[in-house]
Each structure stands twice: as C-alpha cells, then as structure tokens.
Amino acid sequence: MGIIELILIAVGLSMDAFAVSVCTGLSLRKTTLVSMLIVGLYFGVFQAVMPLIGYFLGARFADKITSFDHWIVFVLLCVIGGKMIVESFSREKCEFSAEGNSLGPAKMLPLAFATSIDALAVGISFAFLNVAIVPAVISIGVITFLLSATGIKIGGIFGLKFKAKAEIAGGVILILIGVKILLEHLGILNL
C-alpha cells in the first residue's frame, strides 16, 4: 500500500471524528487552542490505537485466510464507507447539553471510542495486506488529530454546514480504496 492510499485511508477514517469535532465546537461557548488540542488528542490517539489493535488481531489469522483476504478488506471498507454515507443523510443534529462545554473524560472517551471502532476493522485489513503498521498508525493519528482540532474551530465558526459533506467524502474514499484493492487482487487493475 502506497503513501497516497495510506493518507486517503487516514483522511477517510478521520471524517467521523471531524464531524463529531464540528458538533463539539458548536457546543462550546468559546473555541480555544486548548479545546482544539484536547479534542485532537482524544480522537488522534484513539484513531491510532484502534488500527494497531486490529492489526495484531488480524495478524493472528492472516495466514489462514490469504486466499480470500482481499474480499474481507473490500467488504470491510465498503461497509464502513457505506455506513458513513448513510449516516451523513440522517437528520440527526449535533447534541447540545448542559455538559456541552465539558471536554472531560466522561464526554470525550465515549466519543473517541465510538468514532474509532471503524479504525479497528481497518487495522484488521492492514494485517491481511501486510501494511507497515507503524507508519500507518502514525499517519492516521496525526491526520485525525489535525482534522479534529480543525473541526473544533470550524464548529465554532460555521456550524453544521460541513458535517454531512465530511462524512460523505470519508465514506466514498474508503469504498473507492476497497474497490481498488479488490480489483488489484483479481488482476483487473495493475497499478
């Protein structure tokens, strides 16, 4: 897997965190550098750790399913991407609550965990594809950190305008990468 594909996967995975960051930015009275760093760190760390866990889980079984691993990767990426696209069309609004101004663990840990579940499945795919995991998780963590921190600021300025578009873009990216991997393994596409 090339660096461009890795960056695109990192961007695709980070779109859920970005969308939640935008909502979190809406709920804050004031967006500060500290709030941007806190949210960026929560999401960035979780998005980096989850594919690492998935990678080690997948590596245990990779040798047993090498004949059809490309189908598993294709299905995982398409399901994750499709879920993101479907969620972008839901009428859910960002949640505002009395604790909206809190960026403490009680609020941020569940959000960071929920937005990183997809990264666990991608980590399993990385094991099947023999991806160099250290650069992969660093890329995913850094890109998610940057986009999440930016999402806080955007949420504070522009609101819900970019939430759905970010989720659609992330979903499409993951589906296209899944299709590319499948076509390469089937010998239809040779890049």
72 or 138, which is more confident? 138
**pLDDT of 93 higher than 50:** yes
| Tally of structural domains, the chain | 1
Mean pLDDT over 170-180 rounds to 80
Predicted confidence band of residue 163 (pLDDT cuts 50, 70, 90): low
**pLDDT of 95 higher than 70:** no
Predicted confidence band of residue 159 (pLDDT cuts 50, 70, 90): low
CB-based contact 160:22 (threshold 8 Å): yes
Amino acid found at 78: C
Predicted confidence band of residue 98 (pLDDT cuts 50, 70, 90): very low
99 is a domain residue:
no
Amino acid found at 121: A
Taking the complete model, does pTM exceed 0.85, yes or no? no
50 is a domain residue:
yes
Phi, psi of 67 (to 5 degrees): -70, -20
CB-based contact 17:115 (threshold 8 Å): yes
Please give the mean pLDDT across all residues of the chain.
82
Mean pLDDT over 166-181 rounds to 79
Q: Which pLDDT tens digit goes with each residue over 21-49? A: 887 887 777 889 999 999 999 999 999 99
191 is a domain residue:
no
Question: What pLDDT is stored for residue 78 in this prediction?
Answer: 84
**pLDDT of 169 higher than 50:** yes
As given in the structure block, the two tokens for residue 177 are 């990468």
- Domain with 149 in it: 3-91+105-185
Predicted confidence band of residue 72 (pLDDT cuts 50, 70, 90): confident
Beta carbons within 10 angstroms of residue 103's beta carbon: 20
26 is a domain residue:
yes
160 is a domain residue:
yes
174 is a domain residue:
yes
Question: What pLDDT is stored for residue 94 in this prediction?
Answer: 62
190 is a domain residue:
no
